[in-house]
Amino acid sequence: MKNLWEISTTEFAGGKESLMRRGNVYQLANGYMGYRGTLDEFGPDESVGITLAGIFDRVGSAWREPVNAPNGGFTRVSLDGTDLSVLSGKVAQHRQTLSFSPAVFERETVFSLRAKTLTIRSSRFLSADTPNLGVIEFSVYCDKAANVTIRTGIDCNIWDLNGPHLLQLAAEKQGEVLLVQGLTSENSKRVLVAEVIDLNFGVEAHESKDDRTLRVISWRAEAGKIYTFHKYFAVVTDNDLVGKPIQSAAVKMVLRAKALGYAVCLKKHRAEWAKKWERCDVEIEGDDEAQLALRYSIFQLLMVAPVAGSANSIPARALSGQVYKGAIFWDTEMFMFPFFLHTYPEKAVELMRYRIKTLDGARRKAQTEGPGYRGAFYAWESQETGDDACTYFNIGDPFTGRDLRTHFRDKQVHISGDVAIALWEYFKLTGDDSLLLEGGAEVILECARFYYSYAYFKKEKGRYEILDVIGPDEYHECVNNNAFTSMVAKETFVIANAAVEHLRKKHPAALRALVKKIGISRELADFREAARLLYVPAPDPKTGVIEQFDGYLKLREATVEELKAKMVHPNEYLGAGQGLAVPTKVIKQADVVMMLNLFKTRYSAKIKQANWKYYEPRTEHGSSLSACAYALVAAEFGDLEFAYKYFLKTAKIDLEAKYKVYVGTVFMGGSHPAANGGAWMTAVLGFGGVQADEKRVVINPRLCAKWKTFQFNLAYKGDGFRIKITENSVTITSPTTNVRRHKILVAGSKTVCAPGASVTVKYRPTKH
Ligand code: BGC
């Protein structure tokens, strides 16, 4: 039987691009850092990367991006004087495995050289218990006696896209610990790597060569004997709360790990992962392909979830490298946040704290992006301060090499509303208003303030309009009355009013303090008016189609295939000034359909179907965010076959590493956590039909024919449930640790689930 808790491959070579893709598929992460799925002996040419969360740097006028640390996991072996690497062509066998529980990467390679074989086995993890720590077990075994040398230590040859970021890199040895430290070029933040090993064979010498600080262990290996050592490395930066000075904190950390030993470190790591899976796993019986792909997606999200207390968020390419400047986009709130909110609310809190932390950056952006903007205009590409990393010329033209003017930064204003919506969802589904008091309400009010300053009051129509924006479909820029953006802006006003009402009732003193702090009292009446009078394009009374923006329906008809056939360069960008899609109805990704999905209770299934039918054939799905939005809506109106196809496409994007690596001249090779979140949403919210609000949880199952049982957990108002769906029944189990009786509506039947109870409700399956 196939193991659905791991992936493995025997492939190891290929060109730079396949090494890069494999590095994404097999990556490890622990929220603090990512370690690409590369092999011990690899270097920057093979895209080794230890990417750190929340620390960024800029070199000259190049793009700001996250810092990659020196590689404390480096090890290279030589057999009778010949250096071994899988790329050297002496490989008799190779297998590498990524296990999901716990997150461990393993490789076993047999090298065959001059009638001898040498086997390397290594196994590594980034501790889920101690975020700064990486741990490796490394073994060597020869079938005949041989002279073996292991070089292990810290490799300072760093794979950077726009580096070098670490200046004055200096190595030293402090007792048994190897240390490397450097300073980021922009803010002089220290990044430090400490490494120690335990060794009970060979003689160790020290070597500093080719920007590596290494231990050289040489010995005569006996035939058939396994030689094992363990390696502990820690990465720390000035951002960390690990105690000062950070150097002694790092040294202490690795020495402590060494004292505990590999087995104990692994046990602690395993225990943390067991807790994560207990809360977040989804089980699908009857469909191994879907099970593996979905579990892998969940695994990716769990690995990159921010460390508790960090107030970091998840970049659009997770921690798989420096792609997309390591920036946080709307992807987090709209595609990843729902997974955490429904399964692991503590992580949802962290994601929201990041937006609270970066509120000042959003305020600065409103002021500088002007004219006359006020409040919080969140960055399209956000880094640690919330200032926008997105440039006005954000895509390179592959024909001329020149940068193309894009308006992602200045016109994709829906980002502020996406943040406000996520904050409010958190409050609705958890009932916990502490985030609002911690700064969440301030964020919401500042977002509303921004939209009020952005909106235009059209006197002749007596309504506010949101003009000159980009919706999720980035191929059509500077458009008026984009349905998605206007809806999100309107909702922000509604939420701002509701947040004020909540504070007025429950925390009047906090409301007074907030109103005073941000000087907002007179504007509250404006927000009430805008919530009523902001125009959102409505479904056409005859066709049900919502026009994506003013004039969209008059654009030229074209199919995606026609446009693709006209492309002169494979990486050509279809949007921006001259892009092929600009004069046509071809859209990059779900836009109106994304809106229908986000506000699903406000539109009928008929409207959803009409828009889905209209827009899907005109959608390029040029973003990994698109397919799941169409799958979710299709599941709702009953096209389960389509929903399933797009679910799988979304769930497998990282597993199969089939994605564009360049857009224009911009390198894009990284993983896709938004699609991972989209896969979870399609499964649980789509096929499971889960819809929760502040009053109750609704479950309207629409199970795929193949799925015999479908089980998942839901967190709701501080409690949790286990839900099991079969073809005709839903069983809800409420653990004894729950404190409330919850109302759950299963396929229209009201159910009350008391703590410790398990209720089964029969339903009639949807025909498909
Ligand atoms: C998509 C955006 C997305 C970004 C990061 C772009 O290709 O169009 O919607 O936020 O990628 O994933």
CA 344 from centroid of its chain's CA atoms: 15
Kind and range of the H or E run holding 708:
none
Q: Identify the residue whose C-alpha is closest to ligand 1 atom 6.
A: 623
- Point out the catalytic residue in the list 41, 137, 425, 474: 474
Residue 128 and residue 102 in contact, taking contact as beta carbons nearer than 8 Å: yes
Report pLDDT for 201: 95
Q: Which atom of ligand 1 is nearest to the CA of 588?
A: 8
Residue-wise DSSP of 286-340: S-HHHHHHHHHHHHHHHHHSPPTT------TTTTS-SGGGG-B-HHIIIIIHHHH
What is the CA(117)–ligand 1 centre distance, in A?
A: 48
As a whole number of angstroms, the distance between CA 196 and CA 256 comes to 10
Per-residue pLDDT at 222: 98
The whole-angstrom distance between residue 56's C-alpha and the CA centroid of its chain comes to 17
Is 328:380 a contact under the CB 8 Å cutoff?
no
Distance (angstroms) between ligand 1 centre and the Cα of 444 equals: 23
One-letter amino acid at 334 equals M
Q: At what angle do helices 414-430 and 441-454 cross, to 10 degrees?
A: 150
Cα 566 from Cα 68, distance rounded (Å):
39
pLDDT tens figures, 136-171: 999 999 999 999 999 999 999 999 999 999 999 999
User: Mind listing the pLDDT tens digit for each residue in 382-409?
Assistant: 999 999 999 999 998 989 989 999 999 9
DSSP letter, residue 765: P
DSSP, collapsed to helix, strand or coil, labels residue 411 as: helix
CATH 1.50.10.10 maps onto the chain at: 304-687
* 442 a catalytic residue: no
Architecture of domain 304-687: Alpha/alpha barrel (1.50)
Q: Are 725 and 703 in contact (CB under 8 A)?
A: yes
- Once rounded to an integer, what is the mean pLDDT over residues 335-340? 98
With residue 190 as reference, give the H or E element that holds it: strand 190-198
CATH 2.60.420.10 range(s) for the chain read 697-762
**Residue 73, number of CB atoms within 10 A of its CB:** 29
Number of Cβ within a 10 Å radius of residue 382: 29
At 417-471, the pLDDT tens digits run 999 999 999 999 999 999 999 999 999 999 999 999 999 999 999 999 999 999 9
For residue 577, the model assigns a pLDDT of 84
The protein residue whose alpha carbon is closest to atom 7 in ligand 1 is 623
- Whether pLDDT at 666 is above 90: no
Rounded Cα distance, 682 and 294, in Å: 10
- For the CA of 330, the nearest atom of ligand 1: 10
122 touches 139 (CB < 8 A): yes
Is the minimum distance from the CB of 674 to ligand 1 under 6 angstroms? yes
- Give the position of tokens 């409040």: 375
Nearest ligand 1 atom to alpha carbon 623: 7
Question: Could you tell me the pLDDT band of residue 700, with boundaries at 50, 70 and 90?
Answer: very high
CA 318–ligand 1 middle distance (angstroms): 13
Q: Is the minimum distance from the CB of 331 to ligand 1 under 6 angstroms?
A: yes
Please tell me what DSSP assigns to residue 577: T
Q: What is the pLDDT of residue 767?
A: 53
Number of CB atoms found within 10 A of residue 100's CB: 23
- Which residue, 382, 368, 279, is CA-closest to 331? 382
611 close to 630: Cβ distance less than 8 angstroms: no
- Averaged confidence pLDDT in the chain: 96
DSSP three-state, residue 623: coil
Residues 6+ positions from 267 with CB-CB distance below 8 Å: none
Q: How far apart are CA 237 and CA 189, in angstroms?
A: 7
Q: Is 326 near ligand 1, meaning CB less than 6 Å away? A: no
Q: Hey, what are 304's tokens?
A: 């990159």
Cα separation of the two ends of the chain: 29
Helix axes 345-357 and 441-454, enclosed angle (nearest 10): 50
Q: What is the pLDDT of residue 531?
A: 98
381 Cβ closer than 6 Å to some ligand 1 atom: no
Tokens 């490298």 sit on residue: 321
Residues forming CATH 2.70.98.40 domain(s) in the chain = 6-279
Q: Supply the pLDDT for residue 370.
A: 85
pLDDT for 135: 98
Whether 725 shows a pLDDT value over 60: the answer reads yes
Q: What is the DSSP letter of 211?
A: T
The residue assigned the tokens 């501080």 is: 718
State which of 324, 329, 477 you would mutate to test the pocket of ligand 1, scoring each by most atoms of that ligand within 8 A of its C-beta. Answer: 329
Long-range contacts of residues 701-706, Cβ cutoff 8 Å, at least 24 apart: 701/725, 701/730, 701/747, 701/763, 701/765, 702/635, 702/636, 702/638, 702/640, 702/643, 702/766, 702/768, 703/727, 703/765, 704/287, 704/290, 704/640, 704/643, 704/644, 705/640, 705/768, 706/286, 706/287, 706/290
> Rounded mean pLDDT of 591-604?
97
| d(CA 171, ligand 1 centre) in Å | 39
261-275 pLDDT per residue, tens: 999 999 999 999 999
Q: Which residues of 353-367 are buried (b: 16+ CB within 10 A; e: fewer)?
A: bbbbbbbebbbbbbe
Q: Which of 477, 621, 625 to mutate to test the pocket of ligand 1 (most atoms within 8 A of CB)?
A: 625
Beta-carbon-side half-sphere exposure of residue 644 (alpha carbons within 13 Å): 15
Q: Are strands 133-142 and 146-155 parallel, antiparallel or unpaired?
A: unpaired
Cβ 688 vs Cβ 640: under 8 Å: no
Q: Which CATH superfamily is domain 6-279 in?
A: Glycoside hydrolase, family 65, N-terminal domain (2.70.98.40)
Distance CA 52, CA 36 (A): 12
**In the structure, what pLDDT confidence band is assigned to residue 766 with cuts at 50, 70 and 90?**
low
Closest-lying ligand 1 atom to the alpha carbon of residue 317:
12
Q: How confident is the model at residue 657 (pLDDT cuts 50, 70, 90)?
A: confident
Query: Which contiguous run of DSSP H or E holds residue 717?
Result: none
Distance (Å, rounded) from C-alpha 362 to C-alpha 354? 12
One-character DSSP codes across 189-237:
-EEEEEEEEE--SSEEEEEEETTEEEEEEEEEEPBT-EEEEEEEEEEEE
Q: CA-based Rg of the chain, rounded to a whole angstrom?
A: 27
H-only helix segments in 455-535: 483-506, 508-518, 523-533
Mean pLDDT, residues 320-338 taken together = 97
Measured in angstroms, how far is the CA atom of residue 307 from the centroid of ligand 1?
24
697-762: CATH, from 3.40.640.10, 2.60.420.10, 2.40.160.20, 3.30.300.30: 2.60.420.10
Q: Which residues contact 308 (CB under 8 A, 6 or more apart)?
A: 346, 350
- Is the separation of the CB atoms in 136 and 73 below 8 Å? yes
| pTM for this predicted structure | 0.97
Strands 697-699 and 742-746: parallel
CB of 333 within 6 A of ligand 1: the answer is no
Atom of ligand 1 nearest to the CA of 331: 10
Distances (CA, A) of 312 to 50, 54, 332: 17, 6, 11
Q: What is the pLDDT of residues 176-216, one digit of tens each?
A: 999 999 999 999 999 999 999 999 999 999 999 999 999 99
Q: Is 131 in the pocket of ligand 1 (CB under 6 A)?
A: no
Strands (E), 666-763: 666-667, 690-692, 697-699, 709-716, 719-726, 729-733, 742-746, 749-753, 758-762
Query: How far apart are alpha carbons 235 and 599 in whole angstroms?
Result: 43
Q: Is 330 in the pocket of ligand 1 (CB under 6 A)?
A: yes
Task: For residue 610, give the amino acid letter.
Answer: A
The pair of structure tokens assigned to 566 is 């006209």
Q: What is the pLDDT of residue 110?
A: 98
Structure tokens at 60: 């000259």
State in Å: Cα 623 to ligand 1 middle.
6
Q: Which residues contact 465 (CB under 8 A, 6 or more apart)?
A: 455, 456, 457, 458, 480, 481, 486, 534, 535
Q: Whose CA is nearest to atom 12 of ligand 1?
A: 316
Mean pLDDT of 354-359: 98
What value does the mean pLDDT take over residues 717-721?
A: 95
Q: Is the CB of 202 under 6 A from ligand 1?
A: no
**10, 1 Cβ separation under 8 angstroms:** no
